[in-house]
Chains A and B, each alone.
Chain A
Amino acid sequence: MAKQNVQNAAAQAAVMRRVMRYIRPHASALMLSLLLSLVSVALTLYVPILVGDAVNCIVDKGLVDFETLGAILTKIMICVLLTAAAQWWQGVLNNRVTYDTVRDIRRDAFEHIQRLPLSYLDAHPTGDTVSRMISDVDTFADGLLLGFTQLFSGIMTILGTLVFMLTLSPAITLVVVLITPVSLLVANFIATRTYSMFKLQSKTRGEQTALIDEAIGEQKLVQAFAHEDETLDAFDEVNGRLRNCSLRAVFFSSLTNPCTRFVNSLVYAGVGLTGALAAVNGSLTVGGLSSFLSYANQYTKPFNEISGVVTELQNAIACAGRIFDLIDQPAQTPDAPDAVTPKHLDGKVDIDNVCFSYTPDRRLIENFSLHVNPGQRVAIVGPTGCGKTTMINLLMRFYDVDSGTIAVDGIETRRITRSGLRAQIGMVLQDTWLAAGTIRENIAMGRPDATDEEIVAAAKAAHAHSFIKRLPDGYNTVIGESGGSLSQGQKQLLCIARVMLCLPPMLILDEATSSIDTRTEQRVQSAFAEMMKGRTSFIVAHRLSTIQSADIILVMRDGHVIEQGNHESLLKQGGFYKTLYESQFAQ
Chain B
Amino acid sequence: MKKLLVYLKGFERECVLGPLFKLLEASFELVIPLIVARIIDGGIRSGDTGYIVRMVLIMAALGLVGLVSAVTAQYFAAKAAIGFSARLRHALMKHIQSLSYTEIDELGTSTLITRMTSDVNQVQSGVNMTLRLLLRSPFVVFGAMVMAFTIDFDIALIFAGVIAVLCVIVFSIMLASIPMYKRVQNQLDSVTASTRENLTGVRVIRAFGMEDAETGKFAKRNGLLTRFQLAVGRVSAAMNPVTYVVINIAVILLIRGGALKVGAGALTQGEVVALYNYMSQILVELVKMANLIILLTKAAACASRVARVLDVKSSQQDGTLVPADDAPRGEVVFDHVALTYKGAGAEAIEDISFTAKPGETIGIIGGTGSGKSTLVNLIPRFYDATHGTVTVDGVDVTRMRKDELRNRIAVVPQKAVLFKGTIRSNLLWGNANATQADIDEAIAVAQAGDVVASKEKGLDEPVEQGGRNFSGGQRQRLTIARALVRKPEILILDDSASALDYATDANLRRAIRNMENPPTTFIVSQRAASIRFADRIIVLDDGKAVGMGTHDELLKTCPVYQEIYFSQFKKEEVSANG
Q: Which residues on A are within 8 Å of B, measured CB to CB?
A: 47, 51, 54-55, 57-64, 66, 69, 73, 76-77, 80-81, 83-85, 87-88, 91-92, 95-96, 99-100, 102-103, 106-107, 110-111, 113-115, 118, 121, 126, 129-130, 133-134, 138, 205, 208-210, 212-228, 230-232, 235-236, 239-240, 242-243, 246-247, 250-251, 254-255, 257-259, 261-262, 265-266, 268-269, 272-273, 276-277, 279-280, 286, 289-290, 293-294, 297, 383-385, 396, 398, 418-419, 422-423, 425, 427, 429, 433-436, 445-446, 448, 481-482, 487-489, 502, 514-522, 542-543, 545, 548, 579-580, 583-587
* Chain B residues near A62 (CB-CB < 8 A): 263, 265
Q: List 29 A-B contacts (CB under 8 A).
A: A54-B259, A55-B273, A73-B255, A76-B248, A107-B219, A110-B215, A126-B200, A130-B196, A134-B191, A134-B195, A214-B465, A216-B113, A224-B406, A226-B402, A227-B429, A230-B432, A247-B83, A250-B82, A255-B74, A258-B66, A265-B32, A269-B56, A286-B44, A290-B273, A427-B207, A518-B568, A519-B367, A519-B563, A583-B502
Among the 9-residue stretches B1-9, B88-96, B321-329, B353-361, the one with 4 or more Cβ atoms under 8 Å from chain A is B88-96
> B208 to chain A: closest CB distance in Å?
5
Considering only CB atoms, which chain B residue lies closest to A263 in the complex?
B63
A216/B196 in contact, CB under 8 A: no
> A317 to chain B: closest CB distance in Å?
21
Interface residues of B in 474-520 (CB under 8 A from A): 474, 486, 498-506, 510
Considering only CB atoms, which chain A residue lies closest to B62 in the complex?
A265
Interface size class of B (residues with CB under 8 A): 35 or more
Query: What is the CA–CA distance of A166 and B312 in the complex, to the nearest angstrom?
Result: 66
Query: What is the CA–CA distance of A84 and B202 in the complex, to the nearest angstrom?
Result: 50
Partner of B52, one of A133, A208, A276, A383: A276
> A198 to chain B: closest CB distance in Å?
13
Query: What is the CA–CA distance of A383 and B498 in the complex, to the nearest angstrom?
Result: 11
Interface of A is mostly: helix
B203/A433 in contact, CB under 8 A: yes
* Chain B residues near A213 (CB-CB < 8 A): 113, 465
Q: CB-defined interface of B106-136 with A at 8 Å, one 1/0 digit per residue?
A: 0001001100110000000000100010000
A481/B269 in contact, CB under 8 A: no
A57/B569 in contact, CB under 8 A: no
Partner of A286, one of B59, B218, B256, B269: B269
Q: Is B526 an interface residue (CB 8 A)?
A: yes
Considering only CB atoms, which chain B residue lies closest to A435 in the complex?
B197
Query: What is the CA–CA distance of A213 and B210 in the complex, to the nearest angstrom?
Result: 34
Known: A76-B251, A518-B568. A58 touches B229 (CB 8 A): no
A489/B207 in contact, CB under 8 A: no
A61/B237 in contact, CB under 8 A: no
> B404 to chain A: closest CB distance in Å?
9
* Chain B residues near A242 (CB-CB < 8 A): 86
> A263 to chain B: closest CB distance in Å?
9
Q: A213-B113, A223-B382 are in contact. List 15 more A-B contacts (CB 8 A).
A: A73-B252, A76-B252, A77-B248, A83-B241, A83-B244, A95-B237, A130-B195, A134-B195, A216-B109, A226-B406, A273-B53, A297-B280, A384-B499, A435-B201, A518-B568
Q: Is B435 an interface residue (CB 8 A)?
A: no
Among the 9-residue stretches B163-171, B390-398, B412-420, the one with 4 or more Cβ atoms under 8 Å from chain A is B412-420
A58/B82 in contact, CB under 8 A: no
Query: What is the CA–CA distance of A223 and B116 in the complex, to the nearest angstrom?
Result: 19
Partner of B78, one of A57, A80, A250, A276: A250
* Chain A residues near B529 (CB-CB < 8 A): 584-585
A224/B90 in contact, CB under 8 A: no
B366/A517 in contact, CB under 8 A: yes
Q: Is B570 an interface residue (CB 8 A)?
A: yes
A482/B567 in contact, CB under 8 A: no
Partner of A64, one of B86, B259, B465: B259
B567/A95 in contact, CB under 8 A: no
* Chain B residues near A91 (CB-CB < 8 A): 233, 236-238, 240-241
Query: What is the CA–CA distance of A66 and B471 in the complex, to the nearest angstrom?
Result: 88
Q: Is B458 an interface residue (CB 8 A)?
A: no
> A53 to chain B: closest CB distance in Å?
10
Query: What is the CA–CA distance of A334 and B258 in the complex, to the nearest angstrom?
Result: 77
Query: What is the CA–CA distance of A502 and B207 in the complex, to the nearest angstrom?
Result: 12
Q: CB-defined interface of B141-170 with A at 8 Å, one 1/0 digit per residue?
A: 000000000000000000000000000000
Query: What is the CA–CA distance of A499 and B450 in the complex, to the nearest angstrom?
Result: 40
Among the 9-residue stretches B35-43, B172-180, B294-302, B438-446, the one with 4 or more Cβ atoms under 8 Å from chain A is B35-43
B209/A251 in contact, CB under 8 A: no
B40/A265 in contact, CB under 8 A: no
The 4 A-B pairs with the shortest beta carbon distances in the complex, nearest first, are A517-B367, A91-B237, A583-B503, A95-B233
* Chain B residues near A433 (CB-CB < 8 A): 200-201, 203-204
Q: Is B388 an interface residue (CB 8 A)?
A: no
B97/A223 in contact, CB under 8 A: yes
Q: Is B192 an interface residue (CB 8 A)?
A: yes
Considering only CB atoms, which chain A residue lies closest to B118 in the complex?
A209
> B450 to chain A: closest CB distance in Å?
12
A520/B93 in contact, CB under 8 A: no
A73/B256 in contact, CB under 8 A: yes
Query: What is the CA–CA distance of A583 and B262 in the complex, to the nearest angstrom?
Result: 107
Q: Is B341 an interface residue (CB 8 A)?
A: no
Partner of A55, one of B43, B230, B272, B280: B272
Q: CB-defined interface of B233-251 with A at 8 Å, one 1/0 digit per residue?
A: 1101110111011001101
> B58 to chain A: closest CB distance in Å?
9
Query: What is the CA–CA distance of A233 and B85 in the complex, to the nearest angstrom?
Result: 17
Q: CB-defined interface of B537-578 with A at 8 Å, one 1/0 digit per residue?
A: 000000000000000000000001001100111100100010
A92/B237 in contact, CB under 8 A: yes
B471/A482 in contact, CB under 8 A: no
> B378 to chain A: closest CB distance in Å?
13
B59/A61 in contact, CB under 8 A: no
B368/A384 in contact, CB under 8 A: no
